[in-house]
Amino acid sequence: MSDRISGLENLKRIVKTLPNQPGVYRMVSKEGIVLYVGKAKNIVKRVTSYTQINRLNTRILHMVNQVYHVEIITTQTESEALLLENNLIKSYKPPYNVLLRDDKSFPYILLTTNHLFPQILKHRGNKTIKGSYFGPYASSHAVYETLTILQKVFLLRSCNDAVFENRTRPCLLYQIKRCSAPCVKYINKQDYDVLVNQAIAFLKGESSIIQSQLAVRMHEASDKLDYEQAKIYRDRIRALTNIQSTLFIHGEGISEEADVLAVATSPKISCVQLFFYRNGQNLGNVPYFFTHDEEWSASEIISTFLGQFYDDRMPPKEIILSHKPEDQEIIQDALSQKAGRKIVFLMPKTGKKKNILDHALKNAEEALARKRQNSNNQDDLFAGLKDKFGLDFIPQRIEVYDNSHISGAQAVGCMICADKTGFLKNSYRKFNVGFKHALAPGDDYGMMREVFQRRFQRLLKEDPDREKDLWPDLILIDGGKGQLSAVQETLIDLGINDIQLIAIAKGPERNKGREDFYMPNRDVFKLEPNDPVLYFFQRLRDEAHRFAIGSHRQKRENVLTRSQLDDIEGIGPKRKKALLLHFGSVKDIAKASVTDLKKVEGINNDIAEKIHAFFQKG
C-alpha cells in the first residue's frame, strides 16, 4: 500500500506544475524507464485523471505505483501531439502502451526511369531510385508472382545495369520468352517503350484494355498466317488472364487506393486485418495482433493501430474501417497533415465497399480464432517443455545460438529468440566472430565463448537488474557437450549462473528425431521421436541454422564482391561502378592508360593517375 501512496503522491505533486496545453506526457519510473506515453488536449487534466485511482483498472494502477516523475512536450495542436505520441511509443516501447510489434517495410514493384531500357524489379525501403512504384504488396511472394507474369506478358528486363551493359548474347530469360533482350538490341527502344507503357497500364488496373489490344494483334497476325507471332500474343493473353484470376481479387467499388482495416476482438487479444487495395486490385492482406487489457474496445484498438502503423508509412486517400476510432477527427487531421492531402475515413453500411469490409472482418475473426487456438497449444507445449527437461519454471523467453563458418573463414555467430507468440525476429542478433579474440580456424568452442561474452556483457551493462524483457530464462545451444561446457564456463565467469542451458546435437547419422540433449549435471538423453517438444526444439534449431547460414553467406558474398578497386584511395561505390560499366572488368581497368581512365565519368586526372599507379605496382 505504501508504494501506491508514494506513486499517487508523486502524481498529485507533479500535476500542480503541468500546463493547460495540448501535448505528450511520459510516465517515468525511478530507474528512468518510460512506463507509458500518452497524448492530451489538456495535459494537466489528462494526468490528473490518473490520480483518481477508483476509476483505474488494475494494470494502470500498477503503473501509477511506479511513477516517479512525468516528462512533457507541449504542442500547438492535438493532431501534432498524436503524431509525436506515436513516434515516442515506437522509440521507447513503453510496457504499459499497447504496441504494434511490427517494423517491416512492405515491398513494391519498381519500374526504373534512369535508363533507356527501364528495368522492372522488386523494391523495399526508401524510394531513392528514379522510377514508378506500384504497391505496397502484402508479401514478397505476391511481388514475385506478379513479376513472373509481367515478364511473360511484357518481356521487360530484370537484370541490373551492370549486367545489361556487358551482355554480348541474350540470357536464359530470352530463351524462355521472359525478356525481349534489349541488351543485345533484339528490340529497339520504340518497341520496348510500347511494352513499358503496357506494363504501366496493367499495374494501374487497365488490364482489360491491354487484353483487347493483344487480342487485336493476335487476330492480325493470324490473318497474315503468322501463326508463330499469333501464338506469342495468345500466350501473353493467357498469362494476363491467369494473374487476374489467381493473384488479384478485384476490389469492385474501390477505384483508386484504399486500405481496409477490420478488427476482431476478444478479452485479451485482438486482430486487425489489413487489406491493401490499389487501382481496384487487392494486393494482399496482413493480420496484426494486439495483447491488451480486457477493458479495451474495438474503437481503441483501431485508434492505436492507425497512429502506430501510419507513423512511418504514407496513408492512402481512403481508409475503410470496421469501427469508428476514438478521436476520429484528430487522427484523420493528423494523417492528412502527414500526407499533405486529405485522408478520408469511411465506415460503409451498405454497398460494394461494405461487402469488401465484411470480407476483411470475416478474415480478422478467423485469424483471431486460429491465434487463440495456437496460443492454447503453445501454453501446453511450454508446460510440456518444463516437464520433459525437469525445469523449475515454464520458460517465457528462449534464445538459440548457432555458429557458421567454412574452416574458420567468415565466421558468424547468430542468436534467434522465441516466446509463446512465436519467433521474435526484432530480437535476432548476429556476431562477426574472431575480430576481438584471435581464434584458431574452426575453433567452435572459442567462437561460442566470444559470442556469449559479447552478448551477456552487453546485457549486464544495459539491464543489470533484469527489469526489461531482454534476458532469456532458457538458452538452447546447437552443439554437444563441449559447446555446453564452453557456454557454462563463460557465463559463470560473468557471474551468471541462473539461466537454464540445454544443448541439442544431431544423433547417429545426423537423423532428425534421434537428437541427443545435454544439460549441466545430467547424463545425455533423448526424447521420443514423436514428442511435440522435440518437434518444437527442431524448429528452433532449424531457424537458428537458417539465420546463421544466411548471415554467413552474406558475409562471404561481401568478401567475394570486394575487388582491388576497393583498395585504391578515392574510389568509392559510384566510381567503382562507373569504371566497371565502362571497362567491363578489373583486368581491363588494370590494362588501361591514364588517358583511357579519364574518359570515365567522375574520373579526373589525379584519380586516373592513382588507379594507373596502383596497378603498375602490381
Tell me what pLDDT residue 57 has: 77
| In the predicted structure, residue 246 carries a pLDDT above the cut 60 | no
| In the predicted structure, residue 90 carries a pLDDT above the cut 70 | yes
How does residue 255 score in pLDDT terms, banded at 50, 70 and 90? Answer: low
Tell me what pLDDT residue 554 has: 65
The label of the residue with cell 549462473 reads 497
Tell me what pLDDT residue 489 has: 94
User: Tens of pLDDT along 287-300?
Assistant: 999 888 777 889 98
Rounded to the nearest angstrom, the gap between the alpha carbon of residue 457 and the centroid of all alpha carbons in its chain is 28
The label of the residue with cell 573463414 reads 409
Q: What percent of the chain lies above the pLDDT cut of 90?
A: 29
Question: Which whole-number Å values give the CA distances from 545 to 362, 448, 467, in the listed order?
Answer: 37, 14, 30
User: Which of 4 and 29 is assigned the larger pLDDT?
Assistant: 29
pTM comes to 0.67
Go through the domains of the chain in sequence order and give each one's CATH number.
2-92 (3.40.1440.10), 108-246 (no CATH), 257-370 (3.30.420.340), 398-558 (3.30.420.340), 564-616 (1.10.150.20)
Give the DSSP letter of residue 562.
-
Tell me what pLDDT residue 560 has: 43
Cα–Cα distance between 59 and 95 in angstroms, integer?
Answer: 11
| In the predicted structure, residue 249 carries a pLDDT above the cut 80 | no
Tell me what pLDDT residue 589 has: 84
Tell me what pLDDT residue 231 has: 80
What is the H or E stretch that residue 555 is in?
helix 532-560
Given its phi and psi angles, is residue 598 left (phi above 0), alpha (psi -120 to 50 degrees) or beta?
alpha
| In the predicted structure, residue 2 carries a pLDDT above the cut 60 | no
Cα–Cα distance between 505 and 527 in angstroms, integer?
Answer: 12
Cα–Cα distance between 503 and 515 in angstroms, integer?
Answer: 10
Residue 206 burial by CB count (10 A; 0-12/13-18/19+): exposed, middle or buried?
middle
**List of E strands, 493-547:** 500-505, 516-519, 522-525
Question: Which whole-number Å values give the CA distances from 333 to 90, 283, 302, 321, 448, in the listed order?
Answer: 21, 26, 16, 16, 52
What are φ and ψ of residue 263, in 5° steps? Answer: -115, 135
Question: What is the average pLDDT across 440-452?
Answer: 79
User: Tens of pLDDT along 146-192?
Assistant: 888 888 888 999 998 888 988 888 889 998 888 999 999 999 999 99
How does residue 592 score in pLDDT terms, banded at 50, 70 and 90? Answer: confident
User: Tens of pLDDT along 515-558?
Assistant: 899 999 899 999 888 888 998 998 899 898 888 887 656 655 55
In 3D space, the residue among 157, 152, 185 whose CA is nearest the CA of residue 169 turns out to be: 185
